[in-house]
Amino acid sequence: MDDYVDALLEEAPDDMDGIATSPAASHLFQVNDRPELLNDKDAELFHHMTAKLLYLCKRIRGDLMTTVAFLTTRVSKPDKNDYHKLARCIKYLRDTKHMPLTIEMDDKITMQWWVDASFAVHKDMKSHTGAVLMMGKGAIIAISTKQKINTDSSTVAELVGVHDALPMIMWTRYFIASQGYEIHDNIVHQDNQSAMLLERNGRASSGRRTRHVNIRYYSVTDKIKNKLLRVIHCPTEEMIGDFLTKPLQGSKFRKFRDLILNLPS
């Protein structure tokens, strides 16, 4: 999609010139209480550029996903801070426009998901879900989305995060199987042991702090019992899904970006 990226960058106005080392600063999810809204022309440009970035990140640039996920929530009434966040994403894309996504498959079809959630990072105190699918090297699917409900703990946020990713986890498994391939394993990596306990045992592991959780968030328990997937622990420092829950910076950003795009180390 080199031509697509070049065309997108050519459309960017002059005040988006320059380069950046990451697509978003650490304050990405912060929103002004008294915003200075964009005029109609700039708001239309914001919407247009965000839509083009969404198309790009859904296909080959998963490293832009977290930033674009936030920008898409701001297209109805973007303000000047949102415009600056868009500009930074464009600057990062300009600096990395030739960065490819490559995918390598394992000999056996093993689906490996990394699912994570950042607790209460949005202004309305909702959490953010991130998920990545690999079947060897390079992200086949990347998900970054604001959760639809408020949760009262990181454990529940992680449980909701798996629920957010579950339709894609199961659809991908069914799709590959319908093509006639044998799936060796379907693994969901998580870094929260309490959430994993709830997912494996459902209501049986629910205590005073989690008894209020809606039963639909335990649908993953049925999938585990039917051996359609299994959940295993992943150390936080190796949780690739973390990349899609918040705007990482520095070496951690580069580490997970390189894994998602399968870039040479």
Give the Cα-Cα-Cα angle 195, 145, 12 (nearest 5 degrees).
Answer: 150
Mean pLDDT is lowest, of 83-87, 192-196, 210-214, 216-220, for 210-214
Dump pLDDT digits (tens) for 230-241: 999 999 999 999
pLDDT mean over 157-184: 96
Residue 216: which pLDDT band, with cuts at 50, 70 and 90?
confident
Residue 176: which pLDDT band, with cuts at 50, 70 and 90?
very high
Query: What pLDDT, on the 0 to 100 scale, is given for residue 265?
Result: 73
pLDDT mean over 2-12: 97
Dump pLDDT digits (tens) for 67-110: 999 999 999 999 999 999 999 999 999 999 999 999 999 989 99
Contact partners, residue 16, CB within 8 Å, separation at least 6? 86, 87, 90, 91
* Residues above pLDDT 90, as percent of the chain: 90
Neighbours of 212 (CB within 10 A): 9
Class of domain 104-261: alpha beta
Closest C-alpha among 1, 38, 59, 22 to residue 247? 22
Question: Residue ranges of the domains in the chain?
Answer: 2-95, 104-261
Residue 208 has pLDDT above 60, yes or no: no
Considering only residues 78 and 205, tell me which one the structure prediction assigns the higher pLDDT.
78
pLDDT mean over 208-223: 75
> 109-118 and 183-190: which strand pairing?
parallel
Contact partners, residue 180, CB within 8 Å, separation at least 6? none
Neighbours of 162 (CB within 10 A): 28
Q: What is the 3-state secondary structure (H, E, C) of the chain?
A: CHHHHHHHHHHCCHHHCCCCCCCCCCCCCCCCCCCCECCHHHHHHHHHHHHHHHHHHHHCCHHHHHHHHHHHCCCCCCEHHHHHHHHHHHHHHHHCCCCCCCCEECCCEEEEEEEEEECCCCCCCCCEEEEEEECEECEEEEEEEECCCCCCCHHHHHHHHHHHHHHHHHHHHHHHHHCCCCEEEEEEEECCHHHHHHHHHHHHHCCCCCCCCCHHHHHHHHHHHCCCCEEEECCHHHCHHHHHCCCCCHHHHHHHHHHHHCCCC
Query: What pLDDT, on the 0 to 100 scale, is given for residue 205?
Result: 60
Query: What pLDDT, on the 0 to 100 scale, is given for residue 210?
Result: 61
Terminal-residue alpha carbon distance, the chain: 23
- Site of tokens 């915003």: 35
pLDDT mean over 12-41: 96
